[in-house]
């Protein structure tokens, strides 16, 4: 039992490292070859993890082989547009200028119901509100609504909003985010003075943030409330 425990830890660490080296894509954004490799890695790791009669190297070696294969394919994709089309495929327009392309749906084996379901995921109820719908190589659908159906943005009414910038966490659960203070060129003394305005010290804060305009928001930890 102890052997299985340690084998599981070793393989978990290996798979974690391999998946980390493969990049930061979400599962829904994986290309077909990436998804295939991810599934194979999971299968290869499961066998030596539970079967002590199988050498652990029988899982480690092929997993590393798949990692090398993934890196090679990724390099080929970067170097060759033609290879990228063969390996990953090409985006296909399902709705063009407000009209559903029946041939494109048939080629992708997409039904009208599936198309409507995907559009509802994008908060689009009526398919005829769409100007373009593009099926991407990762299976996601990108949607461009008709001009009269799009949400109004400030530019449409001649307004130019001020630049907001990024928000930074200054304190999380009583722990000061020193790296963020350095980025903002601020000191702990400055932070303490700002948090004291809310009536407590940084160590008593659940969360303290600062937005791009310099406004500070803070909430005290419940455990420290009297």
pLDDT for 58-85, tens place per residue?
A: 888 888 888 888 888 888 878 887 887 7
By the 8 A CB rule, do 22 and 67 touch?
yes
Query: What does the pLDDT read at residue 177?
Result: 92
By the 8 A CB rule, do 133 and 119 touch?
yes
By the 8 A CB rule, do 212 and 166 touch?
yes
Query: What does the pLDDT read at residue 226?
Result: 45
**Tens-digit pLDDT profile for residues 195-223:** 999 999 999 999 999 988 889 999 998 86
How many CB atoms neighbour CB 205 within 10 A? 23
By the 8 A CB rule, do 167 and 212 touch?
yes
Buried b (16+ CB within 10 A) or exposed e, 86-122: ebbbeebebbeeeebbeebbeeeebeeeebeebbeee
Ranges of H-type helices in 89-187: 102-107, 112-121, 178-183
Buried b (16+ CB within 10 A) or exposed e, 146-168: eeeeeeeeeeeeeeeeeeeeeeb
Mean pLDDT of 27-42: 73
Instruction: Name the helix (H) or strand (E) containing 100.
Output: strand 99-100
CA dist 37 and 74 (Å) reads 12
Model-level pTM greater than 0.85? no
Domains of the chain: 2-86 (no CATH), 92-149 (3.30.240.20), 168-224 (3.30.240.20)
What is the residue-averaged pLDDT of the chain?
A: 84
């Amino acid at each position: 039992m102890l052997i299985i425990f340690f084998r599981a830890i070793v393989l978990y660490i290996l798979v974690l490292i391999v998946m980390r080296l493969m990049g930061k894509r979400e599962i829904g954004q994986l290309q077909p070859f990436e998804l295939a490799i991810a599934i194979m890695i999971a299968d290869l790791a499961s066998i030596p993890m539970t079967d002590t009669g199988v050498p652990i190297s029988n899982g480690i070696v092929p997993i590393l082989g798949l990692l090398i294969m993934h890196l090679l394919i990724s390099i080929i994709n970067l170097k060759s547009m033609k290879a990228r089309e063969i390996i990953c495929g090409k985006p296909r327009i399902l709705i063009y200028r407000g009209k559903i392309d029946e041939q494109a749906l048939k080629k992708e084996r997409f039904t009208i119901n599936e198309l409507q379901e995907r559009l509802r995921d994008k908060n689009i109820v009526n398919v005829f509100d769409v100007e373009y719908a593009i099926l991407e190589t990762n299976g996601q659908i990108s949607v461009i609504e008709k001009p009269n159906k799009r949400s109004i943005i400030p530019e449409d009414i001649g307004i130019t909003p001020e630049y907001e910038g990024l928000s930074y966490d200054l304190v999380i659960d009583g722990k000061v985010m020193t790296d963020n203070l350095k980025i903002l060129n601020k000191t702990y003394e400055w932070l303490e003075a700002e948090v004291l305005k809310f009536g407590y010290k940084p160590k008593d804060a659940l969360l303290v943030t600062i937005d791009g305009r310099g406004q500070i928001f803070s909430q005290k930890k419940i455990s420290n409330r009297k």
